[in-house]
Amino acid sequence: MGAVKQIFKTDLVEISDFQTESGVAFISIPVTVETLGQPVGSAPVIVVNEGVHIGNRVAKSRKYDGSDTGVSLFNSREYTIVQLCIPTGSDPEFLYESYKTFSPNDRLRIVEQTLDSLGFPRPGKIINT
C-alpha cells in the first residue's frame, strides 16, 4: 500500500452583505479556510470553526492529526478536515464592538455560506471551538 497523499490548501472567502440576527450589517466578512487531509469529495468532511483562535492554524499546530502529541483527534488519512478562521473582536484586521455580535446561528450561516462558495459538501460534523 502506497503513502496516502495529504493535501494542505489555504483559501480566503469573502462573505458579502451579511446581516446578523441582531440586525448588525457587514459589507464583507473575510474567512480564512484551511484544508488538510484527503481531497474534497473523496472522504467525509469535518469542519472546525476556529473563530476564537486567531492565528491557530492546522499546519502550524497539527493538533487535529496528532502529529505533535501522538494523539489524534481526527485522522487526516480518513477525513477531509476544513478549518474556518472567522475573525473575532481580537483580530486587528477586522474589528467589531463586541464578540457577542455574532450568535451561534450567525456563525453557522457563515460556515454554510463559506462551504457553499467553495463547492464543498455539507460536513458530517461541525466543531465550534
Comparing 25 with 69, the larger pLDDT belongs to: 25
Question: Considering the entire predicted model, what is its pTM?
Answer: 0.72
Is the CB of residue 122 less than 8 Å from the CB of residue 115? yes
Rounded to an integer, what distance in angstroms lies between the CA atom of residue 14 and that of residue 28?
Answer: 6
pLDDT at 15: 92
Q: pLDDT tens digits for 54-83?
A: 334 444 444 554 455 444 567 778 888 888
- The hierarchical CATH code for the domain 7-128 is 3.40.50.1820
pLDDT at 95: 60
DSSP 27-92: EEEEEEEEEEESPTTSS-EEEEE-TT-TT--HHHH-TTTTTTTS--SS-TTT-EEEEEE---TT-T
